[in-house]
Structure 1
Amino acid sequence: MKLNPLSDRVVLKQVEAEEKTKSGIILADSAKEKPQEAEVIAVGPGTKDVTMQVKAGQKVVYSKYAGTNVKLDDEEYIIVKQDDILAIVE
């Protein structure tokens, strides 16, 4: 199955949370902070007022509490509006 976003929506797949700190301390699952970096999986067509600025395959930083979480074929995705994407990581 495939998610095809509508309008100005973007499907993201979250980057894995860090397992260890820089000093080598292994983090418990409850201590891991939810990353705000994700890979763009699919992009909607936009609207007459909104031109899409991201493309599939790009890494982005998105708003902390943005979007809707969706589980599909044992994979977790986040569907956000393009306005919730703060930056493209290069």
Structure 2
Amino acid sequence: MAKRLIPTLNRVLVEKILPPSKTNAGILLPEKSTKFSSGIVVAVGPGAIDKQGKTIPIPFKEGDTVLLPEFGGTQVKLGEKEFHLYRDEDILGTLHE
């Protein structure tokens, strides 16, 4: 049976997108050739609770492509897949085409 992780509070579960290792012409790219990393939001928590007891909603939803910081997040392995957990304020933004 596959496990499903539902984040708590203002945490977001992200599956990182691996940058291409070579160009369309077949030229191999070094690992550090990309300056940023991105990922797909897999699950979101319900949101943080403010001092009045109200839930502050998370600005991301499942399926969003997000820009991730170079460092941070907590690595989580579920089955054979690897994910990362971030607080919503650590995610830099969403990517749109």
Q: Same fold (TM over 0.5)?
A: yes
In structure 2, the partner of 1:4 is 6
Q: Kindly indicate whether residue 18 of structure 2 is the aligned counterpart of residue 16 of structure 1.
A: yes
Who is 2:53 aligned against? none
RMSD: 1.8
TM-score norm. by structure 2 comes to 0.80
Answer whether contact 1:18 1:32 (CA < 8 A) is retained: no
- Which residue does 1:65 correspond to in 2? 71
Give the TM-score normalised by the residue count of structure 1.
0.85
Deviations 1:11-40 (A, max 9, x none): 00000221114664224xxx4137510000
Q: Distance in 1 between matches of 2:11 and 2:19?
A: 24
Cα separation, 1, equivalents of 2:22 and 2:46: 39
Equivalenced residue count is 87
SS at match of 1:83: helix
Q: Which runs of 5+ in 1 are unaligned?
A: none
Question: C-alpha separation between the residues in 1 aligned to 2:93 and 2:80?
Answer: 28
Radius of gyration: which is bigger?
2
Identity over aligned residues, as a percent? Answer: 32
Unaligned runs of 5+ in 2: 51-55
